[in-house]
């Protein structure tokens, strides 16, 4: 059911319908970029004993919350989770989000997370993020007190060690006028370049902290985080790196498709509740863009 601004209650943000992929969701959200994804932002939701941590969804670069999560949010809500999503790192009400300096985006997310914890009464929340959204909560954890507030961080194709974008982004960084042009429109793009000052600082002294469980879910066919192995965190007792093609060789999903991929979604559910983990159904999953 779609909730309009006029009919939504004060406790439920306006939401849109479930979408089959990120492209359909992006098109739908052009006219309504502030919609929450389906099943999200019910501020009356109280976590159950089975799922005591609310789930905060963290958007990728340029993506608004509805565009990124108009599939997984409904699935999580149907599984009994309190789900929340917001738009950070962009102009209020704009279609493009998560483009500003990553530290600022993480700060806005941290404030939103505090609001979620206060509304739900939960002691901690879990974060599920896509692309930059799977990496930037680590700034919150490391620098903004998130280690005491986040139980699990689950990244879908996260840019943990940046990307060369098949050499293009690295080449741009070597040409100051081009770098500055990109940085004016999308500071977060430059900060996600492999070897950037931001990522060097973020990963210094270890890329994880004790007390938080980290899961990375990645696809071999990632065309944005390149090489795809840059998504992975260093091995540690609290780190699990998952390659989708090791779970199901028939899964050809790419970077854009992974938030909507049913196999990846099953792996998210398994990471959130490992005591009730289930094997994904291995089916052919084509990429969003061939």
For 145-203, how does the pLDDT look when each residue is reduced to its tens digit (9 = 90+)? 999 999 999 999 999 999 987 555 676 677 787 677 876 889 999 999 999 999 999 99
Give pLDDT, residue 179.
75
Closest CA relative to residue 272, chosen from 57, 46, 36, 17: 57
Specify the pLDDT at position 252. Answer: 96
Domain membership of residue 150 (yes or no) is yes
What's the rounded mean pLDDT across residues 83-104? 97
Looking at residue 9, its pLDDT comes to 46
- Identify which has the larger pLDDT, 11 or 264: 264
The residue behind tokens 């903004």 is 144
Does the pLDDT at position 10 exceed 80? no
| Alpha carbon distance 49, 72 (integer Å) | 21
Inside any domain, residue 3: no
pLDDT band at 212 (very low <50, low <70, confident <90, very high): very high
Return d(Cα 248, Cα 10) in angstroms, integer: 43
Give the pLDDT confidence score for residue 180 in this predicted structure.
73
Query: Does residue 17 fall inside a structural domain?
Result: no
The answer to whether residue 235 is domain-embedded is yes
Would residue 280 count as lying in a domain?
no
Q: Please report whether residue 10 resides in a domain.
A: no
Above 80 in pLDDT, residue 4? no
Q: CATH no. for residue 148? A: 3.40.50.1820
Instruction: State residue 172's pLDDT score.
Output: 66
pLDDT at position 218, please? 98
In the chain, the number of structural domains is: 1
Distances (CA, A) of 16 to 41, 82, 97, 129, 231: 12, 17, 17, 20, 30
- Kindly state the average pLDDT of the residues 87-101: 96
CA–CA gap between residue 258 and residue 265 (Å, rounded): 8
- The Cα–Cα gap between 219 and 246 comes to 9
The pLDDT of 89-94, averaged and rounded, is 96
Give the H or E element holding residue 150: strand 150-156
Please compute the mean of the pLDDT values over residues 62-82 and round it to a whole number.
98
Q: Residue 53's domain spans which residues?
A: 22-272
Residue 257 lies in a domain: yes
Which H or E element spans position 81? Answer: none
Would you say residue 7 lies in a domain? Answer: no
> What mean pLDDT is reported for the chain?
93
pTM of the model: 0.93
Percent pLDDT > 70 in the chain is 93
Residue 174 has a pLDDT of 72
Burial of 133 (0-12, 13-18, 19+ CB in 10 A): buried
Q: pLDDT tens-digit profile of 221-255?
A: 999 999 999 999 999 999 999 999 999 999 999 99
pLDDT (0 to 100) of residue 8: 43
């Amino acid at each position: 059911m779609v909730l309009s601004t006029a009919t939504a209650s004060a406790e439920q943000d306006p939401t849109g319908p479930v979408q089959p992929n990120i492209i359909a969701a992006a098109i739908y959200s052009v006219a309504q970029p502030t919609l929450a994804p389906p099943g999200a932002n019910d501020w009356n939701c109280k976590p159950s004993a089975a799922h005591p941590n609310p789930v905060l969804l963290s958007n990728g670069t340029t993506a608004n919350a509805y565009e990124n999560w108009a599939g997984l949010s409904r699935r999580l809500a149907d599984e009994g989770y309190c789900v929340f999503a917001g738009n950070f790192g962009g102009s209020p009400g704009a279609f493009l989000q998560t483009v500003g300096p990553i530290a600022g985006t993480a700060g806005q997310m941290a404030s939103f997370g505090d609001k979620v914890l206060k509304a739900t009464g939960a002691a901690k929340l879990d974060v599920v993020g896509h692309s930059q959204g799977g990496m930037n909560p680590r700034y919150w954890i490391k620098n903004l007190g998130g280690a005491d507030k986040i139980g699990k961080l689950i990244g879908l194709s996260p840019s943990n060690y940046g990307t060369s974008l098949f050499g293009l982004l690295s080449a741009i960084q070597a040409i100051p006028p081009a770098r500055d042009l990109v940085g004016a429109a999308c500071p977060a793009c430059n900060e996600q370049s492999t070897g950037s000052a931001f990522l060097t600082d973020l990963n210094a002294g270890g890329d994880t902290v004790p007390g938080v469980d980290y899961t990375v879910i990645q696809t071999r066919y990632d065309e944005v985080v390149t090489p795809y192995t840059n998504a992975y965190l260093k091995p540690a007792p609290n780190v699990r790196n998952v390659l989708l093609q090791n779970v199901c060789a028939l899964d050809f999903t790419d970077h854009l498709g992974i938030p909507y991929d049913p196999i990846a979604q099953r792996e998210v559910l398994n990471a959130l509740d490992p005591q009730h983990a289930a094997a994904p159904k291995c089916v052919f999953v084509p990429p969003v863009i061939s």
